[in-house]
Amino acid sequence: MQLLTSAKITEFLPEEYKSLKIHLFDEVDSTNVVAKKLIKTDALPFVVIADHQTAGKGRLGRSFFSPPATGIYMSIALGDFPSLPDALFLTPATAVAVTDAILSLTGIKTGIKWVNDIYLNNKKICGILAESQSVDNNFSVIIGIGLNMTTCRFPTELREIAGSLNSNIPREQIIAEIIKNLLNILKTPDDKSFMKKYKNRSILLGKEIYYFRDNIRNSATAIDIDDSGGLIVRTPANEIITLSGGEITIRIKN
Ligand code: BTN
């Protein structure tokens, strides 16, 4: 795969976002970690992209496999653009921005597994990790996106569950499309219409699932996603409860 260049990413961005600062690295530990450091010195918003991560981070302390040249590993750092984004909606907004970018550039329909994973052919191809940071009372958010483009040699423990987009669209074009889609959504913070797409693309609704909280496995049926992004489930005792992101993980029952 071709080397990434920031000039090419900017070329694909629409006029209004061409001035966005893009920090491009061959190798970093984690683009989220680098973004958190840069927030102390750099003006927001900016983007950090790496060709390779040696310690890519996932949710709940997990790692994100990030080999060289075969994926997109990027973090978008935001302050008040145009107002500080509503943390509750950042992950759903990003999931819609990524699935829209894939759809418009490749025609491939991907699914969203609440709350932060993107799936293709029953395999996870993308994860999102939104984090926040406060420096001298200035609050900012870092939205990390890891998308497997052509990764095929996964470690044994990921082989059954991880996949790739397998598209020959240049990584720069997909990166630019994701940035554009996300900033466009965040430009109108009161407009939550993207939640309709988030819900329509959900691969959980109607399915029997396990949800894990504090290492305890619970059975339920996923029935809806509410306007705040919560997953509404029916328990075996016929109770309706709403799960919110945080420390919860979901597995679809086979
Ligand atoms: C997950 O699957 O739980 C989230 C994975 C998020 C991975 C991306 S890759 C770019 C950014 N930098 C990181 O260290 N993590 C995110």
- Can you say whether the dihedral through the CA atoms of 108, 87, 71, 42 is positive or negative? positive
Residues 192-204 have a mean pLDDT of 96
Residue 254's pLDDT is 77
| Mutational pocket test of ligand 1: of 33, 47, 53, the residue with most ligand atoms within 8 Å of the beta carbon | 53
Residue 20's pLDDT is 97
Residue 139's pLDDT is 86
pLDDT band of 17, cuts 50, 70, 90? very high
pTM of the model: 0.96
- Distance from Cα 49 to the centre of ligand 1, integer Å: 12
**Please, what is the average pLDDT of the chain?**
94
Please name every residue paired with 39 in a beta bridge, in sequence order, or none if there are none.
none
Inter-residue contact 123 to 54 (CB < 8 Å): no
> Using one digit for the tens of pLDDT, what is the confidence trace for 199-223?
999 999 999 999 998 889 999 999 9
Residue 92, helix vs strand vs coil = helix
- Distance from Cα 234 to the centre of ligand 1, integer Å: 30
| Mutational pocket test of ligand 1: of 145, 154, 212, 249, the residue with most ligand atoms within 8 Å of the beta carbon | 145
- Protein residue closest via CA to atom 11 of ligand 1: 144
Residue 108's pLDDT is 98
- Distance from Cα 128 to the centre of ligand 1, integer Å: 6
- Distance from Cα 65 to the centre of ligand 1, integer Å: 9
In the structure, which protein residues have their CB atom closer than 6 angstroms to any atom of ligand 1?
30-32, 53, 56-59, 62, 64, 73-75, 116, 127-129, 144-146
Q: What is the percent of the chain where pLDDT is above 70?
A: 97
Is 245 or 115 the better-scoring residue by pLDDT?
115
Dist. CA 7–CA 169, nearest whole Å: 17
Whether residue 13 has pLDDT greater than 70: yes
DSSP secondary structure of 94-118: HHHHHHHHHHHHH----EEETTTEE
Alpha carbon distances (Å) from 115 to 63, 244, 251:
17, 9, 12
Dist. CA 229–CA 221, nearest whole Å: 17
> Using one digit for the tens of pLDDT, what is the confidence trace for 29-86?
999 999 999 999 999 999 999 999 999 999 989 999 999 999 999 999 998 766 666 7
Alpha carbon distances (Å) from 221 to 100, 110, 122, 196, 246:
27, 22, 18, 20, 19
Residue 49, helix vs strand vs coil = strand
Residue 189's pLDDT is 87
CB hemisphere CA count around 21 (13 angstroms): 12
- Protein residue closest via CA to atom 16 of ligand 1: 144
Is 76 buried (19+), middle (13-18) or exposed (0-12) by CB count in 10 A? buried
